[in-house]
Structure 1
Amino acid sequence: MNSQEILLCLRSLDGGCLEKLLLHCASALESNDVTLAQQVMWVLNNVASSVGDPNQRLTSWFLRALISRASRVCPTAMNIDGSSTIQRRLMSVTELAGYVDLIPWHRFGFCASNSAILKAIQGFPRVHILDFSITHCMQWPTLIDALSKRPEGPPTLRITVPSSRPPVPPLLNVSTEEVGLRLGNFAKSRDVPFEFHVFDKSPSSTAPDEILCKGTPSFHFDSLLGHLNPSMLNLRDDEALVINCQHWLHYLYDEKKGSPQGASLRDIFINRIKALNPRIIVVVDEDSDLSASSLTSRITTCFNYLWIPFDALETFLPKDSSQRIEYESDIGHKIENIISYEGFQRIERLESCIKLSQRWKNAGCTSIPFSEETVKEVRTLLDEHAGGWGMKREGDMLVLTWKGHNSVFATTWVPNGLED
């Protein structure tokens, strides 16, 4: 990029030009050209703005991430403070509900999953949900309410969750056990027999909010794997087992880690889940591939993907909205991890729905299409949000879109041979 192209970027603030500047800076960092990297950062600092248009706001978070990366690569030469400036506060349950409702990033998956689960457990008097999610069980009140209205009466519902979770937003100001108590009270109000269990109670010396600020993401994944067996989970023969994975799988390491089969930890997790012989497995995740080792490749993919929530928020929240700024800072946390870190510190390892689906097929699972009733329910949900949101089918998947761009996908699976 020459000086004339840089001047054009300064004038137009076009998303494509801003992306070129970011790539120019990343390329300079990868080639250890400190002087050029500083020059481009100066330009970016003059065009990026945390209260500007969506492209400027997005660019400001990429700039922070590049500064953070540069400070670790060559701290003395860059002479900048690259420590994380993203301070996350703990939300109340009420605030978390508003956070989840802001855009359908999570509600899409909740709606599609709950509808598929209701169909899969129809007629079963006992249901056990093994829940892997980053949203603190926000999915389940809607399902409990639906179960209370079953013509044959509600089943006995048991929900089991791991004690540790990926150290990513949103963060809650109450414990997992307190969440379970609140769910139990809600289930009681709906006359749904309910149990809540927490497994893998590994001690942690670092609080989630402290982990976020330090930028040292880790959670007790090896310990969690050791608990994925029928006896440790107290599986019961008279229960319909449901496995729910909501924005969870991409936080599991995909590098091979010395297993005899040469499998990655992500594949080991999938195989162990399949071996539990669940009635249904629901998988919801973000539809982007951010697994590239090249920094410039990750920036290109990430910029064009995470533009979606920034653009969506622009449609209904003012530029200085505290709710909008907080939501964007959580996306900024994701950007910082994708751009600033390498190796096991980079836990944001998104892969496309096609790649992730192939993992489930390799593990011996079959995908199940969503019913027309589920499709109708999801479309009704999206009608509550901005007009740019849509949904499409891709094979057996449902995909949430913003202005035609894929954002989140939902799939359902069963072990081979267990299809209805």
Structure 2
Amino acid sequence: MFDLQTLLTQCSQAVARADVRSVNEQLNRIRQHSSAQGDGIERLAHYFANALEARLAGTGTALYVPSSTMRISAADVLKSYETYVKACPFNKMSNLYANRSIMKLAQTATTLHIIHFGILYGFQWACLIHHLSARPGGPPKLRITGIDFPQPGFHPAERVEQTGRRLETYCKRFNVQFEYTAIAKKWETIELDELKIDRDEVLVVNCLLRL
């Protein structure tokens, strides 16, 4: 069994030292035992090797831009997300505990405001919306401020806005009053006024695995 994990670790350490000779030697060995069409470990090693090579050459941006501009449908992303959750339940459990905590906080709330840094497609909130709809006494009004980085191109807020429209459709299905604000900016540039916080609402800030 070829130890790709150890080789990748050693290669990353060589990159940190700017030891070009060692990096090239280790990358050649990794390339011999990895492939974009191989098993999970071989694919992982292949893409990590690409990233390490780009880091050393200073071409990381050029490597990132083509992949970031690919238009992948939300349905395809959901299919891959389901596969990921089945293989590794860590993200599923994180969402589960977060949603349970939010439900406890919102037991008597008339308005629940969730500010979600890194909302992407908003998959986390379908279960919460379902549970809110069954709350004794009726659901609160749900406000979500969806925040994510702007996409390249002429429509930087397109994905985060589409997420809001899907969540709105889901809320209508379960009779949950809904309000959505889309923000597509670098997070450090967001002003407090843009978050539209109300003193009378229960406020939750969500940022799982994105810091």
TM over 0.5: yes
Structure 1: distance between partners of 2:143 and 2:27? 52
| 1:84 equivalent in structure 2 | 63
1:222 maps to 2:188: yes
- Match among 187, 202, 205 for residue 240 of structure 1: 202
CA deviation map 1:297-323 (0-9, x unaligned): xxxxxxxxxxxxxxxxxxxxxxxxxxx
Pair 179,38 (structure 1): closer, same or farther in 2 beyond 3 Å:
closer
The percent of aligned pairs where both chains have the same amino acid is 28
Task: Classify the secondary structure of the residue corresponding to 2:117.
Answer: strand
Give the AA of the match of 1:222.
Answer: E
Shift of 1:39: 3.1
Aligned counterparts of 2:14 and 2:116: Cα–Cα separation in 1 = 43
Task: Write the mapping of 1:278-289 to structure 2, written as runs, cut at 5 A.
Answer: none
Counterpart code for 2:200? D
User: Please, what TM-score do these two structures have when normalized by structure 1?
Assistant: 0.42
Cα distance in 2 between the residues matched to 1:138 and 1:176: 12
Distance 1:84-1:145 versus aligned 2 partners, 3 A rule: same
Superposed CA RMSD: 3.1
Q: Write the distance in 2 (CA, Å) between the matches of 1:179 and 1:27.
A: 39
Query: Which of residues 84, 88, 92 is equivalent to 1:103?
Result: 84
AA of the residue aligned to 1:244: N
Question: Which runs of structure 2 are paired with 1:150-229 in the superposition (5 Å)?
Answer: 150-162=135-147, 164-165=148-149, 174-199=158-183, 220-224=186-190, 227-228=191-192
Match for residue 27 of structure 2?
41
Residues 1:128 and 2:75 are matched in the alignment = no
Count of residues paired in the alignment: 200
Q: Which amino acid is 1:136 matched to?
A: Y
Is the 2:119–2:160 contact (alpha carbons within 8 Å) kept by the matching residues of 1? no
Change (3 A) 1:94 1:174: farther
Closer, same or farther in 2 for the Cα pair 1:50/1:123, shift >3 Å?
Answer: same
- The one-letter amino acid of 1:101's match is E
Alignment-derived partner of residue 291 in structure 1: none
Contact map agreement 1:134 1:165 (CA 8 A) in 2: no
Checking the alignment, whether the CA contact within 8 Å between 2:112 and 2:203 is kept in structure 1 is yes
SS at match of 1:238: coil
TM-score (norm. length: structure 2): 0.77
Letter in 2 for 1:117: I
Q: Segments of 4+ in structure 1 off by > 6 A?
A: none
1:116 matched to 2:101? The reply is yes
Cα separation, partners in 2 of 1:56 and 1:179, compared to 1, 3 Å: closer
> Could you tell me how far 1:28 is from its partner in structure 2?
4.8
Distance in structure 1 (CA, Å) of the matches to 2:9 and 2:208: 31
**Structure-2 separation of matches of 1:24 and 1:236:** 51
Which runs of structure 2 are paired with 1:326-365 in the superposition (5 Å)?
Answer: none
The residue type equivalent to 1:237 in the other structure is: R
Distance 1:90 1:62 in 2: 22
CA distance in 2, matches of 1:159, 1:33: 47
Give how far 1:22 is off.
3.4
Q: 2:205, 2:119 → 1: CA distance? A: 14
State the 1:55 CA deviation.
3.2
Amino acid at match of 1:175: R
Distance in 2 of aligned mates of 1:133 and 1:53: 29
Superposition deviation, residue 68 in structure 1: 1.6
